[in-house]
Structure 1
Amino acid sequence: MALLVFFLLLLPLPLPTTASSTNSTSCGPTDEQNGECIDGVLLPAWLPHPPTTGDRAARAIVYFVALVYMFLGMSIVADRFMASIEVITSQERKVTFRRPNGEVTVTSVRLWNETVSNLTLMALGSSAPEILLSIIEVVGRGFEAGDMGPSTIVGSAAFNMFVIIGLCVSVVPDGETRRIRHPRVFAVTAFWSVFAYVWLFLILSWFSPGEVEVWEALLTFSFFPLCVLQAWIADRRLLFYKYARRGREGRAKYRAGKSRGVLVGAEDAEAQEEAGELRLAGGERLTDEEEEEERRDMARVFKDMRQRYPGKDMEQLMELTNYQSLVQQQKSRAFYRIQATRMMTGAGNVLKKHAADQARRALTDGGTRGAEGAGRGEEEEPWTEMEFDPTHYQCFENCGTVSLWVTCIRAEGEGAVQVDYRTEDGTANAGSDYELAKGTLVFQPGEVKKELRLGIIDDDVFEEDEYFYVQLSNPRKTRGAREGTGRVRLGNGWRATVTIFDDDHAGIFSFESGSLRVSESVGTTKVKVVRGSGARGKVVIPYKTMEGTAKAGEDYLEVAGKVEFQNDETSRLIEIQVIDDEEYEKNKSFFIELGEPEMQRGDSGEMWLVAAKGGGEVAGSPSLGEHRKMEVIIEESYEFKNTVDKLIKKANLALVVGSSSWREQFVSAVTVSAGDDDDDDESSEEGLPSCCDYIMHFLTVFWKVLFAFVPPTEYWGGWACFLVSICIIGILTAVTGDLATHFGCTVGLKDSVTAVVFVALGTSVPDTFASKVAAVQDPHADASIGNVTGSNAVNVFLGLGVAWSIAAIYWAGKGQKFHVVPGNLAFSVTLFTGLSIICLVILLYRRRPPIGGELGGPRIPKALTSLLFFGLWLIYILVASLEAYCHIHGF
């Protein structure tokens, strides 16, 4: 309102009620302006004319309030629009690539390059009202040029360049700086942002003064793809950009990659090779550095959360990790715009709200699965099962008998059941090694376990360990028994294996296998040393660990010692401590080696068996078997790896800002949430809404419910939401343009002044909050100010390029010219171009060591920069307004 009063003081009395056009070269009222406002594109003028002073004030208040309310609606539907853009640009595809070692693997890569998406969809999303206003104004005025659209574009560019950047410079905490992460791309967009307005001046005042020819309009539009192409080339370091150096030493630089937009690359071939550059099947280059870095970061965050909150269960830890990873994740311009809009309108902190929803959904899904599982269990038909438990038995050949156990798991109310059994030869033969047996076991009601005894035959012959089988068959109910409700069957353990150890030999000692894979999270792993082909006497075997790719003290604890086997003992365990450093991928190994076995003196004091010294061996002496050396391979924890993989899938900002159903959208529309913007808080819990949150929610609840009818972002990969949202933005923009024109006409402001001050300010407020949040939270300056230069160029090339192309072609088809008198627009463009060059030079100077970044820095330079930028904006609107009212002569 203060700005309104300021501009009213500039006006000469009496106030002209105008709806001026660019086609007017006079400072006085035109034929259309004789005391009354003209109809807009959609909204007619407010009758009767002329209004009284009281009516004029009342109408001005109504128009102003309606204008503010329309700006709120545009910001909310733009939130839906930006959410669809975030979903679209986050889409991925599967690609097959070959690693340097020749291994072929499949990974997911993003379809959209970060720079291309920023200059196309992101820029369109943040500047859609300005672009559509220019197009709608030209079409709605019968393909004649107007002041509102072009002036809004220039005024919005001035606000973005001076106010938003000035604010971002000051909000960075004292002592911190933010630098442009991609200076090449920023340089390209900065050049095009200045050239765009220089080009406007040339076509308005130099090439064809007073008109826009078809080739000029089409060339203006064609600059848009050229700008995007050059920015993409600079980002990918193609053509001459590959020779550019960030420093004389060829330090590592950021460059575009195929996986997730911007990757850490290298300046020379050797560094690229070290960085693990890969090649796709189609010949395109790909680096896995960024993907590996993402996994390491997620693993680091998860370990940190587990150390900080040891009492939390896995679901809670995953929730905390997901929240922290989303907070630390590099975010797009669309996300910051959505975050700012939702916090401003009482919709809450996007990240905290998402974390709380995920926690509630996990609890709900868990309860539902439990109920479904219980329901399936009740419907399942009861069975009575009979099986061996356990299924493996061992004995020495001098044991006489071995006992096997058969269990019966009964259905409720089941009577007597029975099952047949019989032995079957393996390497052991019935009659020479064990006694043949067959028969029937009967389980009486209530009986759940029976013992089965089998005879073992002893001999004095050295032989290998042998085994035989015992099988169950023909399970059935006993005749005459009480009928139960279930059926009878065999369980999985229907066959048992009995191993007979020879007791006439000291034994052959070895590991169970030549290698063992263990998880790094196992803590203590137990390696089994087995004794076969005999178990007579006491034997001691030395052992020790040896380094491989795994290093003692880093990956495991070195051990050396002796393992002692007592008489008839067939296995012993060696314990080794594995160090868990929680790596996402790990494949290191070390070795355990057995020494020569030594017989010990027996309890009776006689050495019944010793090794011969003449080179031979006494029969039955202990020896080492095939696996005397075992390789222990330490792998990553699969539980830990799966957890990290799940977290990476969940840590997708498109899932945070998107929606999957209309129900979700309507629930969100009527729910008020806390607008706390402190994402650095480790807690992912939502706070309570403040009074301001409730006020903003009730002011915007109409728009929220209305735009909940927009298709969810999950439909058509976000394109359904994109198309519907941009149509709604177009309608709201047309209404807003009419309101702004009528407001300016009512209070006596020209369209050019109304557009530069009020419309540009209203459409740029969400971007202002988004840039402020990005400047504080993002470690780089790209998300906060990198979008400004790109948007300023895109606004001209799309907003004016499309609108003027349509009008120029229309009038050319009629054999007439499309007239656009330079007037206020040429002067405003020239003024903005000069001031923007000053702004860019200051930003470039701030990158020097005394400050070290475009944003932030020491308090005094930071404050001076912000005040200077704010002053440039005030100079722009003041001088442009004075020129509009002929206090300053323009072109």
Structure 2
Amino acid sequence: MINGTCEPVKGCKAGVILPLWTPVDNLSAGDQAARAIVYFVSLMFMFLGVSIIADRFMAAIEVITSKEREVTIKKPNGETAVVSVRIWNETVSNLTLMALGSSAPEILLSIIEVMGNKFNAGELGPGTIVGSAAFNLFVIIAICMYVIPDDEVRRIKHLRVFFITATWSIFAYLWMYLIISVFSYGVIDIWEGILTLLFFPATVLTAYIADRRIFFGKFLSKKYRASSHKGAMVVSEGDMELGEKSNGMGDDILFKGLDSDDAEIREFEKHRREYIEILRDLRRKNPTMEMKALEEMAEYEVMNRGPKSRAFYRIQATRKLTGGGNVIKKKMERKSSLQDLKVAVEDEDTTRVFFEPGHYTVMENIGTFQVTVSRQGGNLDSLIHVEYRTEDGTANAESDYEYAEGTLTFQPGETHKQFDITIIDDDIFEEDEHFYVRLTGIQTEDPLLKVQLANPSMATIMILDDDHAGIFHFNDKEISFSESCGEAEIKVSRTSGARGKVKIPYKTIEGTAKGNKDYIETEGELTFDNDNTEAFINVRIVDDEEYEKQETFYVELGQPKLVRTGSGEETKLLEDMSEEERIAQLGKPRLGEASRLAVHIQESMDTVDKLLKKANLSLVVGTSSWREQFVEAITVSAGDDGDEEEDAEEKLPSCMDYVMHFLTLFWKVLFAFVPPTDYWGGWLCFTFSIIGIGLLTAFIGDLAGSFGCTIGMKDSVTAISFVALGTSLPDTFASKVAAIGDKYADSSIGNVTGSNAVNVFLGIGVAWSIAAIYHAANGTKFEVNPGSLAFSVTIFIVFAIIAIIVILIRRTPAVGGELGGNPKYKVLSSCILFGLWVMYVLLSSLESYCYIKGF
């Protein structure tokens, strides 16, 4: 059955770049099969190349859109603070550079096809745009619905933006049908092409207005006012998205003190709150971990759990597929390895000699103790001589310690040497004193060996007098703790003596922090045994999760009491001793100046703000040098994270990682020549990458056309199937990762609808505007045969409306969200969407081959 729009398969012709493979007639079945295999394999190889250069393109976009500006906000107490917020609005960046990054192959294919055909219309470019839109909307969202763990849901956060982009995405293809089949059948006028292009900024503008709630009035705008409750803010009507509930604790507190309605500032504060929660969780799970290690762990968690852009997910998916490994883990490992390499290089060149440790604290009655000198780096099999001597501080040689000097000899293989220092004990009360031991010279018998004295080359010896019961005090007059620390451990020191057993009472006193509300009131008695120089008071801190908390209470020490321990349980206070016994004690214990400590309860904003800066994902995906890019290009890493239990162990690359790395090695090395993202703020990388995408897209267009004509497939069918699938695969994996990793569904669903609209407005708008202008200048008309394109667009519009209805129905309480949910619902939804794609491809193909009637 032949209809008016059906055309026979066109013969093979030369491409824009690739010449015609001759001969083309009277080929045997074997020759056709061989050529088809060559074209197909080449096409797949080009798709891999596009994925690699698109990875560089997306990295440039991430760097560009991550630029920040400083904004001053006003706190409730009148103070001002400067915070850094993104220059690019998230919605605008998603619909402009991010959409261009993911849709560049389809857009450039349409433009290149028109220009390569001497400004005549082709089927491959428009067909790929429509086919890619169908694959994105039906298949990608179906996969995202299914991969969410059972009974978990992901909801669209920016619902208004989704409505806008979904409306534009359907209108885009409706408009495409109107200009080729209704307004001027088969002819594209200049105004139609230009207006199509202008719909792109209109899409961005309306989405931005919906995101910022501009012109929507009081019903859609967020307004904040002070509540009668301390530290709380009340949200006006229209704040919450459909189905969104308050968390009880009040995210509104995040915006306390902001005198601006700037959405970026509110988003910054929200992210900072999320990072605070990460720090709290890590502190609770690792109460004894050192701060440096805790910050390194927090940095990884902040990057891993923090908000991520569409560009990041695209880069992450591509690198996992091509053996590049997990982006965040690899960056952290590289950072660690660079630090290790720096130390290793230093160690390799020079032998360093130093005290280990550089500070010793000893009791006056210790007698003789040992000081350690170590060597590190260089040739450890060499012989080294190191000289040392003691020097007076407040302690004097021969009265407080015995003068010592000498030479240490490191035999081959030895890394540590020790020598003795003797402390002189007396019965005279005196303040704590100190002296020094200095390394004065170093010699080696190997003239080629580099040796040096490294820090600490001087050790400090602190002598604690044990002839006095001691002075008891806090080390500081004030100290700060995070409200999430659980328990504040406060150190009490004993100086100027350590003789005897002493008990010292203590108690907490209210300030702005209230007892048993902000902290647990505590009082008791510390016991210092003989020669003991420190003890700790523990006060439990109540975490009420108040944002930017700053409250104070006090810990006060009472008068210390010296206790003499006799036989059995007998104890005797100094006041009950005889005069002879008092003299024998040589001094009563007393309080020092710092006997009252102010304890501040707060959340450390410095640490959080530092993590905010480190969590900038442009630092993870970006590159600073060509050397770094070539190292990444030739390195293969594990392509998957594995289970959380396996994260602590180093995961080796799988066989598939090596295979994919081998297949993409050529492209990785080639595109390592693209300028690093740090140059010119990412714009240089952006420019070179889009040129590379354009060149590869030209090859893809030629190969797809040759492949189709070799097997007798029309360009329209090739476009909606093979080409659309190849260009959309990286987005498929990126959306899958985003669906699982994100708290919301915006990166999986909202970006698909926005990208579909951008495909038409840029891909069709630019290409057809150029062609229409060219033909008008030459006195001809730019003709576009509606044929299969009009039918394909119509089918897509109908199916797209069905898909969006399915997505919105899933927001009902029975399912709970656009993605995931009860297994029976998510399987049913996924099957419906996937079935729509199969029907779309099948119906479009049947119409193209004249089995059903088109328009």
Q: Which residue of 1 aligns with 2:368?
A: none
| Aligned pairs, number | 765
Rounded to whole Å, the distance in 2 between the matches of 1:589 and 1:510 is: 22
Q: Check the 8 A contact 2:510/2:554 in 1, yes or no.
A: yes
Residue of structure 2 aligned with 1:39, choices 3, 8, 14 = 14
Letter of the structure 2 residue corresponding to residue 817 of structure 1: K
Residue of structure 2 aligned with 1:576, choices 537, 557, 565 = 537
- Aligned pairs for 1:436-585 (under 5 A) are 515-517=477-479, 524-526=489-491, 544-548=507-511, 549=513, 551=515, 555=519, 558-560=522-524, 576-579=537-540
- Aligned pairs for 1:296-375 (under 5 A) are 296-303=276-283, 306=286, 320-368=297-345
- Residue 143 of structure 1 pairs with residue 106 of structure 2: no
What is the Cα deviation at residue 98 of structure 1? 2.7
TM, length-normalised to structure 2: 0.75
Q: Percent identity?
A: 50
Letter of the structure 2 residue corresponding to residue 302 of structure 1: L
What is the Cα deviation at residue 796 of structure 1? 0.5
Rounded to whole Å, the distance in 2 between the matches of 1:340 and 1:181 is: 23
Q: Check the 8 A contact 2:272/2:609 in 1, yes or no.
A: no
- Distance of aligned partners of 1:747 and 1:99 in 2 relative to their CA distance in 1, 3 Å threshold: same
Unaligned runs of 5+ in 2: 224-233, 355-374, 379-384, 410-418, 434-451, 463-467, 497-501, 562-572, 583-587
- Distance of aligned partners of 1:137 and 1:448 in 2 relative to their CA distance in 1, 3 Å threshold: same
Q: Which residue of 2 aligns with 1:735?
A: 699
- Residue 717 of structure 1 pairs with residue 681 of structure 2: yes
Rounded to whole Å, the distance in 1 between the matches of 2:777 and 2:673 is: 40
What is the Cα deviation at residue 840 of structure 1? 0.3
Residue of structure 2 aligned with 1:293, choices 273, 278, 283 = 273
What is the Cα deviation at residue 717 of structure 1? 2.5
Task: Give me the CA root mean square deviation.
Answer: 5.3
What is the Cα deviation at residue 239 of structure 1? 1.7
What is the Cα deviation at residue 353 of structure 1? 3.1
Rounded to whole Å, the distance in 2 between the matches of 1:788 and 1:868 is: 18
Rounded to whole Å, the distance in 1 between the matches of 2:303 and 2:20 is: 49
Q: Check the 8 A contact 1:171/1:776 in 2, yes or no.
A: yes
What is the Cα deviation at residue 361 of structure 1? 3.0
Q: Check the 8 A contact 2:254/2:266 in 1, yes or no.
A: no
- Aligned pairs for 1:106-505 (under 5 A) are 106-240=82-216, 243-244=219-220, 275-279=255-259, 289-303=269-283, 306=286, 320-368=297-345, 388-389=392-393, 391=394
Residue of structure 1 aligned with 2:833, choices 865, 869, 875 = 869
Q: Which residue of 2 aligns with 1:27?
A: 6
Letter of the structure 2 residue corresponding to residue 276 of structure 1: K
What are the superposed Cα offsets for residues 643-698 of structure 1, whole Å, 9 maximum, x if unpaired?
x6665544443233233322232232223322224364561544222222222222
Please give the secondary structure, in 2, of the residue aligned with 1:687: coil
Task: Pick which of 596-605 and 322-331 moved more.
Answer: 596-605
Q: Check the 8 A contact 1:84/1:718 in 2, yes or no.
A: yes
Q: Check the 8 A contact 1:205/1:826 in 2, yes or no.
A: yes
Letter of the structure 2 residue corresponding to residue 160 of structure 1: N
Q: Which residue of 1 aligns with 2:67?
A: 91
TM, length-normalised to structure 1: 0.73
What is the Cα deviation at residue 289 of structure 1? 2.9
Rounded to whole Å, the distance in 2 between the matches of 1:252 and 1:282 is: 17
Letter of the structure 1 residue corresponding to residue 105 of structure 2: P
- Residue 76 of structure 1 pairs with residue 42 of structure 2: no
Rounded to whole Å, the distance in 1 between the matches of 2:245 and 2:79 is: 21
Task: Pick which of 236-245 and 691-700 moved more.
Answer: 236-245
- Aligned pairs for 1:709-788 (under 5 A) are 709-788=673-752
Please give the secondary structure, in 2, of the residue aligned with 1:589: strand
- Distance of aligned partners of 1:572 and 1:715 in 2 relative to their CA distance in 1, 3 Å threshold: closer
Task: Pick which of 277-286 and 317-326 moved more.
Answer: 277-286
Rounded to whole Å, the distance in 2 between the matches of 1:447 and 1:155 is: 82
- Residue 632 of structure 1 pairs with residue 594 of structure 2: no
- Distance of aligned partners of 1:563 and 1:47 in 2 relative to their CA distance in 1, 3 Å threshold: closer
What are the superposed Cα offsets for residues 293-337 of structure 1, whole Å, 9 maximum, x if unpaired?
143133134325526xx7x87776655544444332232222222
What is the Cα deviation at residue 837 of structure 1? 0.5
Rounded to whole Å, the distance in 2 between the matches of 1:62 and 1:572 is: 81
Letter of the structure 1 residue corresponding to residue 508 of structure 2: T
Rounded to whole Å, the distance in 2 between the matches of 1:350 and 1:28 is: 48
Q: Check the 8 A contact 2:475/2:491 in 1, yes or no.
A: no
Q: Check the 8 A contact 1:405/1:449 in 2, yes or no.
A: yes
Letter of the structure 2 residue corresponding to residue 348 of structure 1: G
What is the Cα deviation at residue 350 of structure 1? 2.8
Q: Which residue of 1 aligns with 2:663?
A: 699
Q: Which residue of 2 aligns with 1:613?
A: none
Q: Check the 8 A contact 2:121/2:783 in 1, yes or no.
A: yes
Rounded to whole Å, the distance in 1 between the matches of 2:263 and 2:723 is: 49
What are the superposed Cα offsets for residues 102-146 of structure 1, whole Å, 9 maximum, x if unpaired?
212222222222111111111111111000001111111111211
- Distance of aligned partners of 1:241 and 1:151 in 2 relative to their CA distance in 1, 3 Å threshold: farther
Rounded to whole Å, the distance in 1 between the matches of 2:238 and 2:277 is: 20
- Distance of aligned partners of 1:355 and 1:51 in 2 relative to their CA distance in 1, 3 Å threshold: farther
Q: Which residue of 2 aligns with 1:887?
A: 851
Q: Check the 8 A contact 1:674/1:686 in 2, yes or no.
A: no
What is the Cα deviation at residue 278 of structure 1? 2.1
Q: Check the 8 A contact 1:513/1:627 in 2, yes or no.
A: no
Letter of the structure 2 residue corresponding to residue 141 of structure 1: N
What is the Cα deviation at residue 636 of structure 1? 6.3
Residue of structure 2 aligned with 1:830, choices 789, 794, 810 = 794
What is the Cα deviation at residue 589 of structure 1? 2.3
- Residue 52 of structure 1 pairs with residue 27 of structure 2: yes
- Higher gyration radius (CA): 1
- Distance of aligned partners of 1:492 and 1:869 in 2 relative to their CA distance in 1, 3 Å threshold: closer
- Distance of aligned partners of 1:286 and 1:279 in 2 relative to their CA distance in 1, 3 Å threshold: farther
Q: Check the 8 A contact 2:6/2:787 in 1, yes or no.
A: no
Please give the secondary structure, in 2, of the residue aligned with 1:239: coil
Task: Pick which of 716-725 and 289-298 moved more.
Answer: 289-298
Rounded to whole Å, the distance in 2 between the matches of 1:789 and 1:181 is: 15
What is the Cα deviation at residue 190 of structure 1? 0.4
Q: Which residue of 2 aligns with 1:20?
A: none
Q: Which residue of 2 aligns with 1:611?
A: none
Letter of the structure 2 residue corresponding to residue 731 of structure 1: L
What is the Cα deviation at residue 718 of structure 1? 2.2
Letter of the structure 1 residue corresponding to residue 510 of structure 2: E
Rounded to whole Å, the distance in 2 between the matches of 1:523 and 1:272 is: 29
Q: Which residue of 1 aligns with 2:806?
A: 842
Letter of the structure 1 residue corresponding to residue 718 of structure 2: T
Rounded to whole Å, the distance in 2 between the matches of 1:661 and 1:135 is: 33
- Aligned pairs for 1:571-720 (under 5 A) are 576-579=537-540, 587-592=550-555, 603=577, 630-634=596-600, 648-678=612-642, 680-681=644-645, 683-720=647-684
Please give the secondary structure, in 2, of the residue aligned with 1:278: coil
Rounded to whole Å, the distance in 2 between the matches of 1:513 and 1:756 is: 74
Q: Which residue of 2 aligns with 1:475?
A: none
Task: Pick which of 689-698 and 219-228 moved more.
Answer: 689-698
- Residue 852 of structure 1 pairs with residue 821 of structure 2: no
Rounded to whole Å, the distance in 2 between the matches of 1:604 and 1:702 is: 92
What is the Cα deviation at residue 851 of structure 1? 0.7
Rounded to whole Å, the distance in 2 between the matches of 1:843 and 1:851 is: 11
Please give the secondary structure, in 1, of the residue aligned with 2:258: strand
Task: Pick which of 169-178 and 222-231 moved more.
Answer: 169-178
Please give the secondary structure, in 2, of the residue aligned with 1:207: coil
- Distance of aligned partners of 1:171 and 1:547 in 2 relative to their CA distance in 1, 3 Å threshold: same
Letter of the structure 2 residue corresponding to residue 633 of structure 1: V
Please give the secondary structure, in 2, of the residue aligned with 1:789: helix
